[in-house]
């Protein structure tokens, strides 16, 4: 299916019970981290179950432009890269980071390892408004020089690099945990040990944990010392993967859409392969959902397959939802989009930093839910959704087109809402504008969702 930015895709509601296993793509967060770790290592690394998507393509292309030998086998979900032990082959380059936050932040810090480097970086229109100032200020304190072309603290900019000098550096982590991960990934190949002092309330902490776990898997375990307010990275031999093979976990954030599908559709049973010892914080979404519903979940053999079966919609009298999503914020849209189907109000907090992601996610989901006749209370750091089922039915009768704001998670979340047969006639009532936006992390999303309508 080839879809462009102006296309609109009707979502087919579920009208009969369906039981399917979901093949999830590899995690975008893990794939892009593993690509950079492989480039920093002292060997050839093969990345298995790698995600091939818009964001990972940006990282692969950037590393190739920088002179790394990268071989991609899309059919086999495999990428091989020859590490250069912290050396960056080319000292000049122009890089386009699109709207990929991981590529934007990780590559910027990575480039600062180069002595005498000169690089120009730019991104999409949306990326030019996303937070970068805090990371760039910290890198300047480490010896980098930044020349901004339009606005201070934003893309596009010219980066002159002189290696990471090490020592103590303060980093504001209120807006993105990716600032921390960017520093951590590069630090073992700096000039001397680095103490990263974390300032402010750190958002999305599990992603920092993911970075540290992956650094350990690549042999840097002895280099890391962590406290509540700082992380010390010792300059060591760097990265080396004992087997030379790294396996990417299935994407736990992508799993959230199918974890909630039984609740939204009332018709589905879903089997999802996820490791019980996952390094991804978003695996907690399943436990969060279990707290507010009678969603049945079963862990399969060795905890590697989770099964989620159809559950009732919340009934009147059940305590309203009030949940802090600060540590699993990438999944807040998954719950917010289906909130109109619930009986009680849903209040989701700890999500202020999502205003600075692919779009202002709180504003975007609020606008689209209001189209559905829902009462929305929007706060700086939270959203409250007061469902009105009768209004939802009225709007569904007219037909609703959901704007995605170039945001893949808006597209996927509202598609799950559209799977509910709210009109009782099996006819599509909700369409997704710009469905191709899912190519950022889950290019086959709509094919997988449509597969539930087929008899296994």
- Residues marked active site are found at 330
Chain position carrying tokens 């849903």? 346
Contact of 391 with 417, CB cutoff 8 Å: no
Tell me which DSSP letter residue 160 carries. Answer: E
Kindly list the distances between the CA atom of residue 422 and the CA atoms of 161, 316, 340, 369, 429, in Å, as whole numbers in the listed order. 56, 19, 11, 15, 8
3-state SS, 56-91, equals HHHHHHHHHHCCCCEEEEHHHCEEEEECCCCCCCCC
Kindly list the distances between the CA atom of residue 69 and the CA atoms of 35, 64, 81, 306, in Å, as whole numbers in the listed order. 12, 6, 6, 38
Task: Give residues with Cβ within 8 angstroms of 186, minimum separation 6.
Answer: 40, 109, 110, 112, 113, 164
Helix, coil or strand: residue 276: coil
Of 174, 238, 334, 291, which Cα lies nearest the Cα of 38? 238
Contact of 429 with 23, CB cutoff 8 Å: no
Residue 381 phi/psi, 5-degree rounding, is -120, 10
Report residue 29 as tokens.
Answer: 């967060």
* Strands of the 268-273 sheet, one edge to the other: 18-21, 268-273, 305-309, 296-299
DSSP string computed for 348-417: EES-GGGGGSSS-HHHHHHHHHHHTT-EEEE-SSEEEEE--HHHHHHHHHH-EEE--TT-HHHHHHHHHH
Angle between helices 101-111 and 178-186 (to 10 degrees): 40
- Tell me how crowded residue 450 is: count the other CB atoms within 10 A of its CB: 12
Report residue 10 as tokens.
Answer: 């009707």
Question: For the chain, how far is it from start to end, CA to CA, in angstroms?
Answer: 21
Contact of 406 with 359, CB cutoff 8 Å: yes
């Amino acid at each position: 299916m080839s879809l462009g930015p102006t296309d609109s895709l009707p979502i087919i509601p579920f009208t009969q019970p369906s039981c399917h296993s979901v093949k999830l793509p590899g995690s975008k967060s893990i794939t892009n981290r593993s690509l950079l770790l492989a480039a920093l290592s002292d060997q050839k690394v093969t990345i298995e179950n790698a995600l091939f998507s818009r964001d990972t393509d940006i990282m692969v292309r950037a590393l190739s432009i920088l002179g790394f030998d990268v071989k991609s086998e899309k059919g086999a979900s495999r990428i091989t890269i020859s590490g250069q032990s912290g050396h960056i082959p080319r000292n000049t380059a122009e890089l386009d980071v699109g709207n990929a936050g991981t590529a934007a932040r990780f590559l910027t810090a990575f480039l600062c390892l180069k002595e005498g480097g000169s690089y120009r970086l730019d991104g999409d229109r949306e990326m030019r408004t996303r937070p970068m100032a805090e990371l760039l200020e910290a890198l300047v304190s480490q010896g980098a020089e930044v020349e901004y072309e339009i606005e201070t603290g934003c893309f596009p900019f010219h980066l002159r690099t002189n290696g990471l000098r090490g020592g103590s550096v303060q980093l504001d982590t209120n807006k993105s945990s990716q600032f921390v991960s960017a520093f951590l990934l590069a630090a073992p190949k700096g000039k001397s040990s680095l103490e990263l002092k974390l300032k402010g309330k750190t958002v999305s902490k599990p992603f920092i944990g993911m970075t540290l776990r992956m650094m350990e898997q690549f042999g840097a375990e002895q280099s890391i010392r962590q406290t509540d307010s700082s992380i010390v990275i010792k300059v060591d031999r760097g990265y080396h993967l004992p087997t030379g093979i790294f396996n990417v976990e299935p994407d736990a954030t992508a799993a959230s859409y199918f974890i909630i599908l039984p609740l939204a559709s009332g018709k589905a049973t879903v089997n999802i392969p996820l490791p019980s010892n996952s390094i991804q914080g978003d695996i907690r979404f399943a436990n969060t959902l279990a707290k507010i519903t009678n969603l049945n979940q079963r862990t399969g053999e060795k905890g590697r397959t989770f099964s989620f079966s159809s559950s009732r919609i919340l009934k009147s009298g059940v305590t309203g939802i009030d949940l802090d999503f600060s540590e699993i914020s990438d999944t807040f849209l998954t719950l917010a989009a289906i909130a109109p189907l619930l009986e009680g109000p849903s209040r989701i907090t700890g999500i202020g930093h999502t205003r600075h992601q692919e779009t202002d996610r709180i504003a975007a989901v609020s606008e689209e839910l209001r189209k559905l006749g829902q009462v929305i209370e929007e706060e700086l750091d939270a959203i409250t959704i007061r469902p009105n089922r009768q209004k939802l039915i009225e709007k569904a009768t007219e037909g609703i087109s959901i704007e995605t704001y170039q945001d893949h998670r808006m597209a996927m979340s509202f598609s799950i809402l559209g799977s509910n047969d709210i009109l009782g006639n099996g006819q599509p009532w909700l369409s997704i504008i710009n469905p191709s936006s899912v190519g950022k992390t889950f290019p086959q999303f709509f094919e997988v969702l449509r597969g539930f309508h087929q008899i296994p």
